[in-house]
Amino acid sequence: MGRAGDPDRSVELLWDGRPGLSLPAIVAAAVEVADAEGLSGLSMRKVAERLGFTTMSLYRHVPGRAHLVDLMRDAVLGDPPAPPGEQGWRARLEAFARHAWELRKRHPWLAEERGARHVPGPNALAHFEHALAILADTGLTPAEVVASVGLVARFVDAEAAALVEAARTERSTGVGDEEWWGARDSLYAHFYAFPTLTRLWETGGFDQPDPFGFGLDRLLDSIELLIEKRDVKRDETCRVCGRPVEQPTSGRPRAYCSRACQQRAYRHRRST
Protein backbone atom coordinates (compact mmCIF):
# COMPACT_ATOMS: atom_id res chain seq x y z
CA MET A 1 0.00 0.00 0.00
CA GLY A 2 1.48 3.36 -1.04
CA ARG A 3 2.06 6.28 1.29
CA ALA A 4 0.89 9.86 0.69
CA GLY A 5 3.21 12.74 1.39
CA ASP A 6 5.96 14.96 0.03
CA PRO A 7 8.99 12.84 -0.90
CA ASP A 8 11.27 15.88 -0.66
CA ARG A 9 10.14 16.33 2.93
CA SER A 10 11.08 12.71 3.60
CA VAL A 11 14.51 13.30 2.12
CA GLU A 12 14.95 16.33 4.36
CA LEU A 13 13.93 14.44 7.48
CA LEU A 14 16.05 11.40 6.65
CA TRP A 15 19.19 13.14 5.45
CA ASP A 16 19.47 16.46 7.28
CA GLY A 17 21.41 14.80 10.04
CA ARG A 18 24.30 13.80 7.81
CA PRO A 19 27.58 15.71 8.22
CA GLY A 20 28.14 18.82 6.15
CA LEU A 21 24.98 20.93 6.49
CA SER A 22 25.75 23.72 8.91
CA LEU A 23 25.47 27.49 8.90
CA PRO A 24 29.18 28.06 8.08
CA ALA A 25 28.95 25.53 5.21
CA ILE A 26 25.83 27.23 3.83
CA VAL A 27 27.45 30.67 3.99
CA ALA A 28 30.65 29.41 2.34
CA ALA A 29 28.68 27.82 -0.50
CA ALA A 30 26.63 30.99 -0.96
CA VAL A 31 29.83 33.06 -1.21
CA GLU A 32 31.08 30.72 -3.95
CA VAL A 33 27.84 31.13 -5.91
CA ALA A 34 27.86 34.93 -5.57
CA ASP A 35 31.56 35.14 -6.51
CA ALA A 36 30.80 33.28 -9.72
CA GLU A 37 27.40 34.75 -10.65
CA GLY A 38 26.90 37.91 -8.61
CA LEU A 39 23.99 38.52 -6.25
CA SER A 40 21.58 38.33 -9.18
CA GLY A 41 22.59 34.69 -9.61
CA LEU A 42 22.34 33.81 -5.92
CA SER A 43 19.39 31.70 -4.81
CA MET A 44 18.68 29.32 -1.98
CA ARG A 45 18.17 26.59 -4.61
CA LYS A 46 21.64 27.04 -6.12
CA VAL A 47 23.26 27.03 -2.68
CA ALA A 48 21.39 23.85 -1.77
CA GLU A 49 22.44 22.18 -5.03
CA ARG A 50 26.07 23.08 -4.41
CA LEU A 51 25.87 21.43 -1.00
CA GLY A 52 23.87 18.43 -2.18
CA PHE A 53 20.83 19.12 -0.02
CA THR A 54 17.24 20.13 -0.64
CA THR A 55 16.33 23.80 -0.67
CA MET A 56 14.00 23.29 2.31
CA SER A 57 16.92 21.98 4.33
CA LEU A 58 18.60 25.40 4.20
CA TYR A 59 15.61 27.16 5.73
CA ARG A 60 16.23 25.33 8.99
CA HIS A 61 19.45 27.32 9.29
CA VAL A 62 18.73 30.58 7.40
CA PRO A 63 15.27 32.23 7.28
CA GLY A 64 15.78 33.58 3.76
CA ARG A 65 18.01 35.01 1.08
CA ALA A 66 18.32 38.50 2.65
CA HIS A 67 19.56 37.01 5.92
CA LEU A 68 21.96 34.83 3.97
CA VAL A 69 23.48 37.86 2.23
CA ASP A 70 23.99 39.54 5.63
CA LEU A 71 25.83 36.43 6.83
CA MET A 72 27.91 36.27 3.65
CA ARG A 73 29.01 39.88 3.97
CA ASP A 74 30.08 39.45 7.58
CA ALA A 75 31.91 36.23 6.75
CA VAL A 76 34.11 37.76 4.04
CA LEU A 77 34.80 40.83 6.18
CA GLY A 78 36.33 38.50 8.73
CA ASP A 79 39.54 38.53 6.67
CA PRO A 80 41.47 41.25 8.59
CA PRO A 81 44.03 43.61 7.06
CA ALA A 82 47.70 43.18 7.88
CA PRO A 83 48.86 44.77 11.14
CA PRO A 84 49.74 48.44 10.55
CA GLY A 85 53.03 48.48 12.45
CA GLU A 86 54.45 51.91 13.25
CA GLN A 87 53.14 53.66 10.13
CA GLY A 88 51.43 57.03 10.23
CA TRP A 89 47.71 57.51 9.75
CA ARG A 90 47.96 58.03 5.98
CA ALA A 91 49.83 54.81 5.27
CA ARG A 92 47.50 52.91 7.57
CA LEU A 93 44.36 54.33 5.95
CA GLU A 94 45.74 53.60 2.49
CA ALA A 95 46.49 50.02 3.53
CA PHE A 96 42.97 49.69 4.92
CA ALA A 97 41.41 51.02 1.69
CA ARG A 98 43.55 48.76 -0.50
CA HIS A 99 42.61 45.78 1.66
CA ALA A 100 38.92 46.67 1.19
CA TRP A 101 39.57 46.99 -2.55
CA GLU A 102 41.18 43.54 -2.71
CA LEU A 103 38.21 42.08 -0.83
CA ARG A 104 35.86 43.54 -3.42
CA LYS A 105 37.95 42.26 -6.28
CA ARG A 106 37.68 38.76 -4.79
CA HIS A 107 34.01 39.25 -3.92
CA PRO A 108 32.59 41.88 -6.33
CA TRP A 109 29.05 41.33 -5.01
CA LEU A 110 30.07 43.27 -1.88
CA ALA A 111 29.61 46.42 -3.96
CA GLU A 112 26.08 45.28 -4.87
CA GLU A 113 25.18 44.69 -1.24
CA ARG A 114 24.97 48.31 -0.15
CA GLY A 115 22.42 50.36 1.72
CA ALA A 116 21.76 52.16 4.97
CA ARG A 117 19.63 49.45 6.60
CA HIS A 118 21.85 46.40 6.66
CA VAL A 119 22.37 45.10 10.18
CA PRO A 120 26.15 44.90 10.73
CA GLY A 121 27.67 41.78 12.18
CA PRO A 122 30.71 41.49 14.46
CA ASN A 123 33.19 41.38 11.60
CA ALA A 124 31.61 44.38 9.87
CA LEU A 125 31.77 46.43 13.07
CA ALA A 126 35.38 45.36 13.68
CA HIS A 127 36.16 46.46 10.11
CA PHE A 128 34.57 49.87 10.79
CA GLU A 129 36.25 50.18 14.20
CA HIS A 130 39.64 49.56 12.61
CA ALA A 131 39.15 52.40 10.14
CA LEU A 132 37.82 54.83 12.76
CA ALA A 133 40.78 54.14 15.06
CA ILE A 134 43.19 55.19 12.30
CA LEU A 135 41.84 58.76 12.28
CA ALA A 136 40.54 59.08 15.84
CA ASP A 137 43.67 60.77 17.23
CA THR A 138 44.59 62.95 14.25
CA GLY A 139 42.91 66.12 15.55
CA LEU A 140 39.83 65.77 13.38
CA THR A 141 36.51 66.31 15.09
CA PRO A 142 34.43 63.17 15.78
CA ALA A 143 32.08 64.06 12.91
CA GLU A 144 35.05 64.57 10.58
CA VAL A 145 36.52 61.18 11.53
CA VAL A 146 33.27 59.38 10.69
CA ALA A 147 32.75 61.42 7.50
CA SER A 148 36.31 60.79 6.30
CA VAL A 149 36.03 57.04 6.80
CA GLY A 150 32.66 57.09 5.03
CA LEU A 151 34.16 59.04 2.13
CA VAL A 152 36.92 56.47 1.64
CA ALA A 153 34.45 53.59 1.96
CA ARG A 154 32.12 55.08 -0.64
CA PHE A 155 35.04 55.60 -3.02
CA VAL A 156 36.04 51.94 -2.68
CA ASP A 157 32.46 50.81 -3.27
CA ALA A 158 32.05 53.11 -6.29
CA GLU A 159 35.21 51.71 -7.89
CA ALA A 160 34.09 48.18 -7.08
CA ALA A 161 30.67 48.86 -8.62
CA ALA A 162 32.44 49.37 -11.96
CA LEU A 163 33.93 45.87 -11.58
CA VAL A 164 30.47 44.48 -10.87
CA GLU A 165 29.01 46.09 -13.98
CA ALA A 166 31.92 44.92 -16.16
CA ALA A 167 31.59 41.35 -14.86
CA ARG A 168 27.80 41.38 -15.34
CA THR A 169 28.16 42.60 -18.92
CA GLU A 170 30.85 40.06 -19.72
CA ARG A 171 28.70 37.22 -18.34
CA SER A 172 25.73 38.28 -20.45
CA THR A 173 27.64 38.98 -23.69
CA GLY A 174 30.67 36.73 -23.45
CA VAL A 175 32.88 39.71 -24.38
CA GLY A 176 35.17 41.55 -21.93
CA ASP A 177 35.56 45.33 -21.76
CA GLU A 178 39.03 45.37 -23.29
CA GLU A 179 37.95 43.25 -26.24
CA TRP A 180 34.77 45.29 -26.80
CA TRP A 181 36.53 48.68 -26.76
CA GLY A 182 39.35 47.28 -28.89
CA ALA A 183 36.85 46.60 -31.65
CA ARG A 184 35.48 50.16 -31.81
CA ASP A 185 37.62 51.41 -34.69
CA SER A 186 34.56 52.94 -36.35
CA LEU A 187 34.14 55.18 -33.29
CA TYR A 188 37.82 56.16 -33.07
CA ALA A 189 37.72 57.31 -36.70
CA HIS A 190 35.55 60.25 -35.54
CA PHE A 191 37.94 61.43 -32.83
CA TYR A 192 39.65 63.86 -35.24
CA ALA A 193 36.72 66.27 -34.69
CA PHE A 194 37.68 66.58 -31.00
CA PRO A 195 41.28 67.88 -30.85
CA THR A 196 41.73 67.82 -27.07
CA LEU A 197 40.38 64.29 -26.82
CA THR A 198 42.57 63.20 -29.74
CA ARG A 199 45.73 64.75 -28.26
CA LEU A 200 45.15 63.16 -24.86
CA TRP A 201 44.30 59.82 -26.48
CA GLU A 202 47.46 59.84 -28.58
CA THR A 203 49.74 60.92 -25.71
CA GLY A 204 48.62 58.23 -23.27
CA GLY A 205 45.98 60.15 -21.32
CA PHE A 206 43.77 57.07 -21.10
CA ASP A 207 46.58 54.69 -20.13
CA GLN A 208 46.11 55.02 -16.38
CA PRO A 209 47.94 52.07 -14.78
CA ASP A 210 46.23 52.37 -11.40
CA PRO A 211 43.04 54.47 -11.49
CA PHE A 212 42.06 53.21 -8.04
CA GLY A 213 45.38 54.34 -6.57
CA PHE A 214 45.12 57.74 -8.26
CA GLY A 215 41.67 58.40 -6.82
CA LEU A 216 42.65 57.12 -3.38
CA ASP A 217 45.73 59.37 -3.28
CA ARG A 218 43.58 62.42 -4.07
CA LEU A 219 41.16 61.51 -1.29
CA LEU A 220 44.00 61.06 1.20
CA ASP A 221 45.48 64.40 0.09
CA SER A 222 42.23 66.12 1.01
CA ILE A 223 42.04 64.42 4.41
CA GLU A 224 45.68 65.31 5.05
CA LEU A 225 44.98 68.99 4.29
CA LEU A 226 42.10 68.94 6.75
CA ILE A 227 44.24 67.34 9.45
CA GLU A 228 46.97 69.94 8.90
CA LYS A 229 44.36 72.67 9.24
CA ARG A 230 43.16 71.15 12.50
CA ASP A 231 46.76 70.85 13.73
CA VAL A 232 47.31 74.57 13.20
CA LYS A 233 44.17 75.42 15.14
CA ARG A 234 45.07 72.97 17.90
CA ASP A 235 48.51 74.58 18.32
CA GLU A 236 47.00 78.05 18.77
CA THR A 237 46.10 78.11 22.45
CA CYS A 238 44.70 80.82 24.68
CA ARG A 239 47.41 82.88 26.43
CA VAL A 240 45.39 82.86 29.66
CA CYS A 241 43.74 79.45 30.07
CA GLY A 242 45.61 77.32 27.50
CA ARG A 243 42.48 76.14 25.72
CA PRO A 244 42.49 75.97 21.90
CA VAL A 245 41.55 79.19 20.13
CA GLU A 246 39.22 78.93 17.15
CA GLN A 247 40.76 81.22 14.56
CA PRO A 248 38.68 83.27 12.10
CA THR A 249 38.95 82.46 8.42
CA SER A 250 40.11 86.03 7.75
CA GLY A 251 41.32 89.08 9.67
CA ARG A 252 43.64 89.27 12.66
CA PRO A 253 44.39 86.06 14.57
CA ARG A 254 42.92 85.72 18.05
CA ALA A 255 45.08 85.35 21.14
CA TYR A 256 42.31 84.44 23.58
CA CYS A 257 39.57 81.84 23.53
CA SER A 258 36.90 84.16 24.96
CA ARG A 259 36.13 87.72 25.94
CA ALA A 260 36.50 86.72 29.60
CA CYS A 261 40.10 85.58 29.08
CA GLN A 262 40.83 88.72 27.09
CA GLN A 263 39.57 90.87 29.98
CA ARG A 264 41.58 88.88 32.52
CA ALA A 265 44.71 89.46 30.46
CA TYR A 266 43.89 93.18 30.25
CA ARG A 267 43.43 93.44 34.06
CA HIS A 268 46.68 91.56 34.61
CA ARG A 269 48.58 93.97 32.40
CA ARG A 270 47.06 96.95 34.21
CA SER A 271 48.01 95.54 37.59
CA THR A 272 51.63 94.94 36.61
Same domain, 226 and 262: no
CATH number of the domain residue 58 falls in: 1.10.10.60
Is pLDDT above 70 for 8? Answer: no
> Are residues 132 and 159 located together in one domain of the fold?
yes
Same domain as 113, residue 59 = no
For residue 7, tell me if it sits in a domain.
no
> Sign of torsion, CA 166 168 169 173?
positive
In whole angstroms, how far apart are CA 149 and each of 9, 142, 152, 193, 207? Answer: 48, 11, 5, 43, 29
Task: Give 87-126 pLDDT, tens digit per residue.
Answer: 789 999 999 999 999 999 999 888 886 665 677 888 989 9
DSSP bridge pairs for 244: 237
DSSP state of 195: H
CA 183 from chain centre, in angstroms, equals 33
Domain co-membership, 207 together with 251: no
The answer on 221 and 170 residing in a single domain is: yes
Residue 154: CATH number of its domain: 1.10.357.10
My answer on whether 248 and 116 are in the same domain is no
Rounded to a whole number of angstroms, the distance between the first and last alpha carbons of the chain is: 114
pLDDT digits (tens, 9 = 90+) for 120-177: 888 989 999 999 999 998 888 899 999 999 999 999 999 988 887 887 787 778 887 7
106 shares its domain with 60:
no
The 3 state secondary structure assigned to 233-247 is: HHHCECCCCCCECCC
Q: pLDDT higher for 268 or 32?
A: 32
Domain assignment present for 70: yes
Of the pLDDT bands very low, low, confident and very high (cuts 50, 70, 90), residue 245 is confident
Do 104 and 215 fall into the same domain?
yes
CA of residue 112 relative to chain centroid, distance: 11
CA 23, CA 15: separation in Å to the nearest integer? 16
Q: Three-state DSSP class for 56? A: helix
| Domain-ending residue, one of 46, 76, 106 | 76
- In terms of domains, do 249 and 221 share one? no
**Is residue 236 predicted with pLDDT exceeding 80?**
no
The verdict on residue 4 lying in a domain is: no
Tell me the range of 1-10, 52-61, 198-207, 215-224 where mean pLDDT is highest.
Answer: 215-224
What CA dihedral angle connects 78, 126, 37 and 27, to 10 degrees?
A: 50
Q: What is the mean pLDDT of residues 180-187?
A: 84
pLDDT tens per residue across span 66-80: 889 999 999 999 877
Phi, psi of 237 (to 5 degrees): -110, 155
The reply to whether 259 and 134 lie within a common domain is: no
Q: Considering the domain boundaries, does residue 1 fall inside one?
A: no
Domain that holds residue 28: 16-76
Cβ atoms 221, 204 nearer than 8 A: no
| Long-range pairs of 23-29 with CB within 8 A, sequence gap ≥ 24 | 23/61, 23/62, 23/71, 24/75, 25/51, 26/51, 26/58, 26/61, 26/62, 26/68, 27/68, 27/71, 27/72, 27/75, 28/75
Work out the pLDDT band at 83, boundaries 50, 70, 90. low
Q: How confident is the model at residue 2 (pLDDT cuts 50, 70, 90)?
A: very low
Q: Can you tell me the distance from the alpha carbon of 223 to that of 147, in angstroms, rounded to the nearest whole number?
A: 10
Structurally, how many domains does the chain consist of? 3
209 and 143 within one domain: yes
